[in-house]
Structure 1
Amino acid sequence: MPLTSSVMPNLAEPQLRIPRGPRVTTILLIGKLASLSGETICRIRNISDDGLMAEVHGAFAVNDAIAVTLKAGDVLRGRVRWSLNGRIGVEFDEPIHVAELLSHVANRIGPEGIARGPRFDVDCCAELLAAHQRHEVRLIDLSQGGARLVGEVHLVRDSIVRLLVPGLGECEAAVRWVGEGAYGLSFLEPLAFADFGPWLNDRSLRYGA
């Protein structure tokens, strides 16, 4: 009998009903989760050679095919085996080597202990406050840690600006790179997982639809 949220046993933390090796706790391992519903952010809480458990926003059904892309570019493919209270259990299509995977992720973390989080294509309007002036800009992509935008505005590298994103509020950021009409921002404080996930899933929050 398939394991679904309606028949999930009353456990403090549901576990995958598949043979697996010892789990490795990986709190705050952020990934980009892709499914037939689109792309969203997820937070892996534990992982084994055979599967993982992650916090997610949105609805997932048993047997949904998903792919999780990690910060280092590794892609984990599998199917949802249970979904309950904002968490899902995933069984991988093929076993992985957890130690090698986590080592690869660690090697992509810079000297400040920060790795670039997954970026999401958003293409929506935003407002930028720079040098005491407000400018209408176009937000091209967004992550918990930063953004890329375009607009008719003059920004100086390493200057501090404020970005107002519809549905997310105002974020203070540093200008990290300047291109021809395009700019890269690094947020001084990352966007909260609890806010960013629902924002990605609900287009009305950024487009007013």
Structure 2
Amino acid sequence: MQTSPASVTPQEALDRRSGQRHALVLLIGKVRHAGREAACLVHDISAGGMKVRFTEPHRVDDRLEIEVRGLPPVRGTIRWVNGCKGGVEFDAPQDLARVFRLRDDDGHVMRTPRFAMEASGTLRLLERRWAVDILDISPGGAKLEGETGAEIGQAGSITLPDLPTPVFGVVCWTQDKKLGFRFSSPLTLDMLARVLGCC
């Protein structure tokens, strides 16, 4: 059964322009638009574009930049919007093989984009607690700063802005007053959006 041109949806039109898409990729990415950064969830992706769930409102023809694991920041245009979801057409085709690789050319693990922050939290390791500054965050962890005396491998929890319960994890690196705290379970898009103050 063929679909008539009048019944082609914006999603189908973008799919046709972009070639075959990879369904249910579900990667958290970073959107830059009008001088502001926000989190997003990439539902599927092709060399020519992607279907995205936004955490802030957007409109058709908005110009933006999206960053996801494995790709450099990519410029594109929103071609359709349906509620919080939208279709983005890239300015230039992208190499999708990089998105699905576990490591880059130098052997480093591909990382989800990080979001700079200026916020405070409470780090708890065993029975001790410290006030810390949250310098940046990703779904998988956060960079913290403070006089903690933390050691690599110590398990504990961190309070994050606007989340009702602490997030559990482990100290994965330390350097001077800074440390990396890897979450036991990745933050969902909704949790990350709340921490970042997205609507």
Pick the TM interval, shorter chain.
0.7 to 0.9
Report SS of the residue matched to 1:173.
strand
- More displaced, 53-62 or 33-42? 33-42
What secondary structure is seen at the aligned counterpart in 1 of 2:134? Answer: strand
Q: Indicate the residue corresponding to 2:179 in structure 1.
A: 183
Give the deviation of 1:116 after TM superposition: 2.4
Structure 1 residues 26 and 76: alpha-carbon distance in aligned structure 2, compared to 1, 3 A threshold: farther
Matches of 1:133 and 1:20 in 2, distance apart?
Answer: 53
- Counterpart check, 1:29 vs 2:22: no
Q: Distance in 2 between matches of 1:163 and 1:197?
A: 17
Q: Deviations over 1:12-54 (max 9, x none)?
A: x944456332222242122211111511122211223332111
Provide the secondary structure at the position in 2 that maps to 1:19.
Answer: helix
Check if 1:147 corresponds to 2:145: no
Distance 2:119 2:13 in 1: 38
Aligned residue for 1:166? 161
Which residue does 2:127 correspond to in 1? 132
* Residues in 1 aligned to 2:77 and 2:71: alpha-carbon distance in whole angstroms: 19
Quote how far apart the aligned CAs of 1:199 are: 3.3
Aligned partner of residue 197 in structure 1, secondary structure:
helix
After superposition, what is the alpha-carbon deviation per residue over 1:54-75, rounded to whole angstroms, capped at 9, x for unaligned? 1111100111111111212422
Structure 1 segments of 4+ aligned residues over 3 angstroms from their partners: 13-18
Aligned identity (percent) is 26
Correspondent of 1:81 among 79, 82, 104: 79
Q: Does structure 2 conserve the Cα–Cα contact (< 8 Å) formed by 1:20 and 1:48?
A: yes
1:80-134 alpha-carbon deviations (Å, 9 max, x no partner): 112222101112222x14xxx2321233349xxx742211001101011123022
- Is 1:51–2:49 an aligned residue pair? yes
| RMSD between aligned residues | 2.4
CA–CA distance in 2 between the matches of 1:116 and 1:132?
Answer: 31
Match of 2:97 in 1: 103
- Could you tell me how far apart the structure 2 residues matched to 1:23 and 1:187 are? 31
Equivalent of residue 70 in structure 1, options 68, 88, 93: 68
Distance 1:26 1:73, change over 3 A: same
Structure 2 gap segments, 5+ residues each: 1-6
Distance in 1, Cα, partners of 2:194 & 2:135:
18
Q: Within 2, Cα distance between the matches of 1:74 and 1:16?
A: 25
CA contact (8 A) 1:29 1:45 kept: yes
Name the CA distance, whole Å, in 1 between partners of 2:35 and 2:56.
9
- TM-score, normalised via structure 1 length: 0.80
Whole-Å separation in 2 of the counterparts to 1:37 and 1:15: 30
| Number of residue-to-residue matches in the alignment | 187
Amino acid at match of 1:140: L
